[in-house]
Amino acid sequence: MTNKSIYRAYDIRGNTTTDLSVEIAYKIGYVFTKLTINATNKVIVVGMDGRLSSPALCNGLISGLKNGGAEVVFIGLCSTPMLYFADYKFKPAASVMITGSHNPKEDNGFKILQNNRPFFGEMIQELKRVIEGQKWSDIKIDNYLETIKISDVSNDYVAAIINDSKFNRKLKVAIDTSNGAASEITKKLSQELPLDFIIFNDKIDGNFPAHNPDPMVAENLTQLQKMVLEEQCDLGVCFDGDGDRIGVVTNSARIIYGDQLLCIYAKQVLKHIQGATIIADVKASDIFCSYVTKLGGKPLIWKTGHSYIKAKMQEIKAPLAGEMSGHVFFADRYFGFDDGLYAAMRLLEILANSDSSLDEMIGALPQMYNTPEIRIKVAEDKKFSLIKQIKQDMLRQGITFNDIDGLRVEEKNGWWLLRSSNTEAAISIRIEATTKTGLEKLQNRLQKLLANYNVYMI
């Protein structure tokens, strides 16, 4: 019996020792093909990251796709942005990336596109229903990876980034590729640019020996911070396991949050596209809205999740969007998908064309006191019901909130957010206030609220 929790809001993801098997990969491939291909386009592009479980899942997926009638274009071991790029290049009916993203090494999953748009939400639930409603027998997994031809897109992908980049001065940057899928392509790109790169943890290794491939966790950036200070770099960059997210530290090794980074990008974009709408996720600081408005733009707060953000961007034709988690989406000069490597190049371009350091740019933003994203482990089968129960209790108490994604409560001098994570067994929290004392008060208030549900922040 398949663990239903693998079918998440914006991708399919689970533990490969308990939830996600090769047979399930086959079923996903077979049913997805039946739901996707048509008489004029039977092509499905497939790529995989460097996780230890990816080759086996890839064989299962491709077996299902081919038996379902698809013509598979395999681009090999790659980053997720390379898969997105291949989707634009080959114009298939659909594309599937086998990746566990930033999750622990035991996890893996599938990020999916259909007709160049995210396959998510109700589409994933329909896939699940068809899989569960079908009788399965004689599932045969072929070892396609031994014989299948690889359609390499790396040269075209690198060229697309290089042709879009302009640097007026040489910078020194440290890049931690987290032993992830972006390691080789980062080294390839670095050889073509007039910048000084220090790239480390750059051997693809699904054991992730240096640290878990999540640049939003501060402890995963300590090696990068040390490298930036020792080598006197202009900045440091860290990618996640599949290369679609970026973590950044300044020249003084200060960690930059995703909403701060988005403000820097927004300033550049709004110079060329005046009055544009810039999208941030529900975890963004109030600084984002006030800063974008001051620049003449229109800020829009939307649901967290790369699929939700991309769909909204396409709907309203926004040139830029970003999330606290480090997903950044450029559609002004790029394709509109989240790409950590491209986001790094855009940041380097901004710095190279400015006399200011990254520290100075961040220092110029209005100051607020806030937490990073705090994640508290809550069982997969309880996290959504917990938020639902808190919501019901708040309604009874007459507390006003924004529930576009979780519960965001505006206070007199700040706000706080509670939401269920869509990628792991956890709830997500962020708190912001105008003063340090105000932040402490909101933290204490939220701790007391959660304690009523036997959930503790510390």
| Burial class of residue 164 (count of CB atoms within 10 Å of its CB; 0-12, 13-18, 19+) | middle
Contact by Cβ (8 Å): 114, 40: no
Note the pLDDT tens digit of each residue in 168-195: 999 999 999 999 999 999 999 999 999 9
Q: Tell me the mean pLDDT in the region 189-210.
A: 98
Indicate if 138 and 262 belong to the same structural domain: no
Note the pLDDT tens digit of each residue in 12-29: 999 999 999 999 999 999
Residue 51 above 90 pLDDT?
A: yes
Indicate if 85 and 28 belong to the same structural domain: yes
User: Is the residue at 456 inside a domain?
Assistant: no
Confidence at residue 159, expressed as pLDDT on a 0 to 100 scale: 98
Strand-pairing partners, residue 372, are: none
Contact by Cβ (8 Å): 456, 386: no
Q: Tell me the mean pLDDT in the region 66-86.
A: 99
- Catalytically active residues are 101
**Confidence at 234, pLDDT banded by 50, 70, 90:** very high
Q: Tell me the mean pLDDT in the region 434-456.
A: 96
Indicate if 106 and 166 belong to the same structural domain: no
Integer CA distances (angstroms), 433 to 322, 342, 398, 438, in order: 21, 32, 22, 6
Confidence at residue 4, expressed as pLDDT on a 0 to 100 scale: 75
Indicate if 184 and 321 belong to the same structural domain: yes
Confidence at residue 395, expressed as pLDDT on a 0 to 100 scale: 97
Contact by Cβ (8 Å): 355, 334: no
- Given 111, 131, 152, which residue is the final one in a domain? 152
What is the tally of structural domains in the chain?
3
Confidence at residue 424, expressed as pLDDT on a 0 to 100 scale: 85
Confidence at residue 293, expressed as pLDDT on a 0 to 100 scale: 98
CA 347 – CA 356 distance, rounded (Å)? 12
Q: Tell me the mean pLDDT in the region 241-251.
A: 99
Indicate if 125 and 215 belong to the same structural domain: no
Residue 3 above 90 pLDDT?
A: no
CA 47 – CA 73 distance, rounded (Å)? 9
CA 174 – CA 344 distance, rounded (Å)? 11
DSSP three-state, residue 229: helix
Note the pLDDT tens digit of each residue in 278-320: 999 999 999 999 999 999 999 999 999 999 999 999 999 999 9
Query: Which structural domain, as residue segments, surrounds residue 252?
Result: 155-363
More confident residue, 4 or 448: 448
CA 306 – CA 423 distance, rounded (Å)? 11
User: Is the residue at 458 inside a domain?
Assistant: no
pTM, entire model: 0.95
Confidence at residue 2, expressed as pLDDT on a 0 to 100 scale: 63
Total number of residues shown for the chain: 458
Confidence at residue 5, expressed as pLDDT on a 0 to 100 scale: 86
- Given 298, 328, 363, which residue is the final one in a domain? 363
Q: How far is CA 223 from the centre of its chain?
A: 21
CA 334 – CA 337 distance, rounded (Å)? 8
Indicate if 287 and 374 belong to the same structural domain: no
CATH code of the domain covering residue 247: 3.40.120.10
Indicate if 327 and 404 belong to the same structural domain: no
**Confidence at 422, pLDDT banded by 50, 70, 90:** confident
Diameter of the chain measured on Cα atoms: 65
Indicate if 255 and 384 belong to the same structural domain: no
How high does pLDDT run on average in the chain? Answer: 96
CA 440 – CA 445 distance, rounded (Å)? 9
Indicate if 135 and 162 belong to the same structural domain: no
User: Is the residue at 295 inside a domain?
Assistant: yes
Contact by Cβ (8 Å): 81, 341: yes
Residue 1 above 60 pLDDT?
A: no
Look up residue 436 and give its DSSP letter.
Answer: H
Indicate if 289 and 404 belong to the same structural domain: no
Confidence at residue 41, expressed as pLDDT on a 0 to 100 scale: 98
